[in-house]
Amino acid sequence: MRELVQLFLVQNTSDGTFHHQDIAKIKQRVNKRCLWFEEELEPDLRWVFGVSKILHTGESEFQTIELVESGPFGKVLLLDGKLQSAEADEFVYHESIVHPALLYHSNPKKVFIMGGGEGSTAREVLKHSSVKKVVMCDIDQEVVDFCRSNLTENAEAFSSTRVELVINDARVELENRNEKFDVIIGDLNDPVEGGPCFTLYTHSFYMHIIKAKLNVGGILVTQAGPAGILSHTEVYSSIYNTLRQTFKYVLPYAAHVPSYADTWGWVMASDQAFPTVNIKETDYRIQKRIQGELHFLDGQTLCATLALNKHVRKTLAGETHVYTEDSARFIHGYSSGLKNQN
């Protein structure tokens, strides 16, 4: 009887002897994955990763919901088959959408999160000891329930007494609430054709709803789509310009999020000038205000995320497109069309 032994040998050319090579590497090569997640970033660009396990699946009236164990990114949350957030690097996105605005605000007490049903954005907001109340307003009850049940890292956030969880259309909720906020965070789906969210990136929404609901000195921050060298013209520059046409002060920033296969963009906007927050001051505020440790952001990193490269800055400076209901731009992708928000 024979037995197949798989070995990689390394030959020492000086004396001809062989030594065993780490077998793990060759095993990786030989053991083929058979289940793959594929996201079509563009019609001719695919991001494909191996999936070892489907942890949970669900479907709301708006979208399909899946939690899978991926090879390269750990646990990955998918909405409508689009990667929303990956265990391995979600801290980059969530620290970036939350902390710059809260650090630039002099004393943020009340925060409104549009979307954010995953819970990670609330989790980061709650690290600020100044914050007394976080309204987290997501339209999709099932996503919220799913994440509350399955994302243990956000369990504390979901159960915090400082958090008020509302299931509603963010626009309707803001309009109906008789209160204002220090920071409003747009942790929204990307604007895709047929999707529920593109009206929450429009000039009229910013002008008539958001402005009315910000306290004096209040800051809006919104995720603003891909902001890479090749992708920032899709919606990022337009969202930036739309905010520039609406608010007196606007700060765009960006960071590479590996699981998104791109650099991602956010924009802060306010009618009051942003303070001059240098590296040292940022580090001081982080130390003073934030409980728990940040892993991505500190003074130096924030400085770098705000310093967009020459090419992107040039596009942003020259952008004239204003995002309205009638002139909407979309990034590649499709809504499941299960139900539209508006």
At residue 291, φ and ψ (nearest 5 deg) are: -100, 130
Please say if 44 is a catalytic residue: no
Among 122, 131, 239, 297, binds its own copies (CB under 8 A): 297
Q: Please answer whether residues 240 and 320 qualify as being in contact, where contact means their C-beta atoms are separated by less than 8 angstroms.
A: no
Tokens of 8: 């990689």
Asked if 266 contacts 97 with a C-beta cutoff of 8 angstroms, the reply is: yes
Which stretch in 137-145, 174-182, 270-278, 294-302 sits in contact with its own copies by CB under 8 A? 294-302
Rule CB under 8 A: which of 235-274 touch its own copies? 255-258, 261-263
**1 scored as a contact of its own copies (CB under 8 A):** yes
* CB within 8 Å of 117: residues ≥ 6 apart: 136, 138, 140, 143, 144, 147
Give dist(CA 108, CA 126) in Å, integer: 11
In angstroms, the CA 126 to CA 85 distance is 19
- Residue 241 Cβ, how far from its own copies at the closest point, in Å? 20
Task: For the segment 89-148, give every residue that binds its own copies (CB under 8 A).
Answer: 89, 92
Find the binder of its own copies among 129, 212, 230, 275 (CB under 8 A): 230
3-state secondary structure at position 222: strand
What binding mask, one character per residue, do residues 150-189 give for its own copies by CB under 8 A, x or -? ----------------------------------------
**Cβ nearer to its own copies, comparing 274 with 296:** 296
181-202: b or e for each residue (b if 16 or more CB lie within 10 Å)? Answer: bbbbbbbbbbbbeebbbbbbbb
Contact flag: residue 6 with its own copies (CB under 8 A): yes
Q: Is 194 in the site for its own copies (CB under 8 A)?
A: yes
Contact 279, 300 (CB under 8 A): yes
Token digits of residue 150: 């399955």
Part in contact with its own copies (CB under 8 A); list of ranges 116-124, 165-173, 236-244, 303-311: 303-311
What is the helix (H) or strand (E) element at residue 45, kind and residue range?
strand 45-59
Selection from 215, 266, 267 nearest residue 246 by Cα: 267
* 334 lies in the binding site for its own copies (CB under 8 A): yes
Interaction residues for its own copies, span 14-53 (CB under 8 A):
14, 18, 21, 25, 28-40, 42-51, 53
Q: Is 280 in the site for its own copies (CB under 8 A)?
A: no
- Choosing from 89, 169, 182, 187, which is the catalytic residue? 187
Token pair belonging to 195: 């999707």
Q: Which of residues 309-328 bind its own copies (CB under 8 A)?
A: 309-311, 313, 325-326
Give min distance, CB of 97 to its own copies, in A. Answer: 15
Token output for 213: 């609901």
Q: Which is nearer to its own copies, 145 or 193 (CB)?
A: 193
Which of the ranges 63-71, 130-138, 161-169, 201-209 carries the binding residues for its own copies, by CB under 8 A? 63-71
**Residue of 119, 225, 228, 265 that binds its own copies (CB under 8 A):** 228
SS (H, E, C) 72-113: CCEEEEEECCEEEEECCCHHHHHHHHHHHHHHHCCCCCEEEE
Catalytic residues: 187
